[in-house]
Amino acid sequence: MSPLDPVLQHNELEAMPDLWQRIRKQMHIPVPKRADVQRELAFYASKQKFFNEVSVRAEPYLYFIVAELEKRRMPLELALLPIVESAYNAAAQGNGPAGLWQMVPQTARNFGLTVQSGYDGRKDAFSSTLAVLDYLQHLHDNLGNDWLNAVAAYNTGEGRIMAAVARNQARGKPTDYWSLHIPARFVQTMPKWLAMIQLIKTPEDYQLELPVIANKPAVGMTRIAGAVQLQQAADLAGVSLGKLKSLNPSFRLAMTPQGKDFPLLLPLTAIEDFERQQHLLKKVAVVQAAEPVKSAKRSYKVKSGDSLGSIAAKNQTSVKTLRQLNRLKSDQLKVGQSLQLPAGKSPEQSVARTSRKAQTYQVKAGESLWTIAQKLRIDSEELRLFNQLKSGVHLQPGQSLKVPASNAAPVKRKTASNQQTPQHIVKKGDSLDRIARKYKIKLTDLLQWNQLQADSKLTPGQQLLLAPKRRQS
């Protein structure tokens, strides 16, 4: 059931002077009188200064979050999660998690946020909110339609709560959060969040005063194309550089990254000025890194699933060369082990300039379709289809593969009345969000069809279902 009372009209909500009041009016999640929740209540009740500071930090973003929750008909109590996650600090950086919602990098990428050297979408308050609400809705829908389960999974990981729900289902027990009996050490956010709900609901019971946050938008979003100096953007918007940076901690440098445009949060009064003068922004000349000297050393860190053969293929060298360079006595590798590579350009820098001729290729030990495709500059799926191989095939050393010429007509999939469920073969650089957008399907459906979690990592060659698996008749 929606937390938004249908009798309570939108106009009535908009007329309220204080955002805290607007949230309070729509609260529905009960807070139990448990010892762990009572301890957190006692702790926060003595922190008037904390609530003063949180209100100041929340003021630019809270209206947007509240409006988005109402639009999606999600519990307004979720707007309080950033208080216990980051104290509403958009620039917050933990040991891995970051931003208002403290998202971890892999989950952020899978839900469409950009995380790179010059920009971290987790610290963009608006974009990260949309991603987190998508994630929380996914958790709710797949964990017994229980919002406490969703928040617990956000805190401790989807797999732990999913396993507890499945365990209770198998035993014929209820699957609500309190029936799962998750050990407290795994869900430390839960009692804090529940205590915060009670404090915001009845602050007078705890001698707290919540500073008024105006019930209207304070900032808006426009976009800025890289690479430009943040100082110039601030000048055109008529705000200080410090103000622009405080609203946009997602930018890690003094300039926006090159190559695409990025969200830019500005006070509502400044957006019109910025957009009117945006054409005056001067692109910064980005100095390209010089090509490495041929004698420069290169190294490779061993990842899970690597072999000497696959590493050699990725880096255009031979197993023999790797053995000699690293004085290896065996082919056994350890994850995290550093291997020295022969000097020269990396595979990314030495892209073949000539057309590929039709040829045959003999498979070497440790190679896969993906590593061979990378080496030959061909799509791995095209190579598989050209050789009429089954999906997920394991190649044998000495096996011969036919390699089509670069100008050959692409091989089409065979169709039949009993066609299998459509799939996508993961390529280097893919993300769950990018795949979902490519095929115009919901990211949450893609996760569910493939039994993946929000922080699941993809590996090249992995097969993903693009529809529910068809039952055999």
Of the pLDDT bands very low, low, confident and very high (cuts 50, 70, 90), residue 296 is low
CATH 3.30.230.70 fits 423-465, yes or no: no
To the nearest whole percent, how much of the chain has pLDDT over 70? 85
Question: What pLDDT is attached to residue 416?
Answer: 42
Does the pLDDT value for residue 50 go beyond 80? yes
231 vs 405: which has the higher pLDDT: 231
Does the pLDDT value for residue 385 go beyond 80? no
Does the pLDDT value for residue 467 go beyond 70? yes
- Give the torsion sign (CA, 184, 189, 190, 194): positive
Q: Which residues contact 438 (CB under 8 A, 6 or more apart)?
A: 424
Most distant CA atoms of the chain, gap in Å: 80
177 vs 346: which has the higher pLDDT: 177
Of the pLDDT bands very low, low, confident and very high (cuts 50, 70, 90), residue 418 is very low
Nearest to 424 by CA among 412, 438, 406, 404: 438
Distance CA 239, CA 255 (A): 16
Q: How far is CA 425 from CA 88, 279, 307, in A?
A: 39, 41, 21
The answer to whether 41 touches 200, Cβ cutoff 8 Å, is: no
Protein fold of 219-280: Membrane-bound Lytic Murein Transglycosylase D; Chain A (3.10.350)
Q: Is 328 exposed, middle or buried (0-12, 13-18, 19+ CB in 10 A)?
A: middle
CA angle 362, 367, 368 (to 5 degrees): 100
Cis peptide before 227 (omega within 30 of 0): yes
Q: How far is CA 92 from CA 10, 52, 137, 214, 311, in A?
A: 33, 18, 24, 24, 37
Q: What is the pLDDT of residues 2-16, one digit of tens each?
A: 455 555 577 899 999
The tokens for 156 are 């401790």
- H/E element, 360: strand 359-362
To the nearest whole percent, how much of the chain has pLDDT over 90? 53
Distance CA 30, CA 37 (A): 12
Pick the CATH number of 352-414 from 2.40.480.10, 3.40.50.1460, 3.10.350.10, 3.30.420.10: 3.10.350.10
Domains 352-414 and 423-465 share a fold: yes
CATH 1.10.3470 fits 10-206, yes or no: no
Amino acid in the structure at residue 233? A
Distance CA 274, CA 271 (A): 5
CATH 3.20.20.70 fits 297-350, yes or no: no
455 vs 178: which has the higher pLDDT: 178
Question: What pLDDT is attached to residue 417?
Answer: 39
Instruction: List, in sequence order, every beta strand (DSSP E) within 250-358.
Output: 261-267, 298-301, 338-341
Of the pLDDT bands very low, low, confident and very high (cuts 50, 70, 90), residue 313 is low
Of the pLDDT bands very low, low, confident and very high (cuts 50, 70, 90), residue 183 is very high
Of the pLDDT bands very low, low, confident and very high (cuts 50, 70, 90), residue 351 is very low
Which range (52-56, 140-144, 353-357, 459-463) has the least confidence? 353-357
Does the pLDDT value for residue 293 go beyond 70? no
Distance CA 356, CA 403 (A): 9
Of the pLDDT bands very low, low, confident and very high (cuts 50, 70, 90), residue 453 is confident
The answer to whether 249 touches 60, Cβ cutoff 8 Å, is: no
Question: What pLDDT is attached to residue 470?
Answer: 65
What average pLDDT is seen over the chain? 85
In the chain, what are the domain boundaries?
10-206, 219-280, 297-350, 352-414, 423-465
Instruction: Please give the full DSSP string across 234-250, using - where no structure is assigned.
Output: HHHHTS-HHHHHHH-TT
Question: What pLDDT is attached to residue 376?
Answer: 80
DSSP secondary structure letter of residue 105: H
In this prediction, residues 104-131 reach a mean pLDDT of: 94
For residue 364, which phi and psi values (nearest 5 degrees)? -105, 165
Amino acid in the structure at residue 471? R
Of the pLDDT bands very low, low, confident and very high (cuts 50, 70, 90), residue 406 is low
Tally the C-alpha atoms within 13 A of residue 254's C-alpha that lie toward its C-beta. Answer: 4
DSSP secondary structure letter of residue 402: E
Partners of 98 in the β-ladder: 93, 103
Place of tokens 């946050």: 213
The tokens for 288 are 């390209």
85 is catalytic: yes
Does the pLDDT value for residue 170 go beyond 70? yes
* Marked catalytic residue, from 40, 70, 77, 85: 85
Question: What pLDDT is attached to residue 328?
Answer: 80
The distance of Cα 437 from the centroid of its chain, to the nearest Å, equals 14
Question: What pLDDT is attached to residue 389?
Answer: 81
Question: What pLDDT is attached to residue 16?
Answer: 94
Of the pLDDT bands very low, low, confident and very high (cuts 50, 70, 90), residue 408 is low
Question: What pLDDT is attached to residue 355?
Answer: 60
Report long-range pairs for 288-295 (Cβ below 8 Å, ≥24 apart): 291/345, 291/349, 292/345, 292/346, 292/349, 294/343, 294/344, 294/345, 295/343
Does the pLDDT value for residue 291 go beyond 80? no
Question: What pLDDT is attached to residue 309?
Answer: 65
Question: What pLDDT is attached to residue 1?
Answer: 39
With H, G, I as helix, E, B as strand and everything else as coil, classify residue 314. helix
Does the pLDDT value for residue 356 go beyond 80? no
Number of C-beta neighbours around residue 333 at 10 A: 17
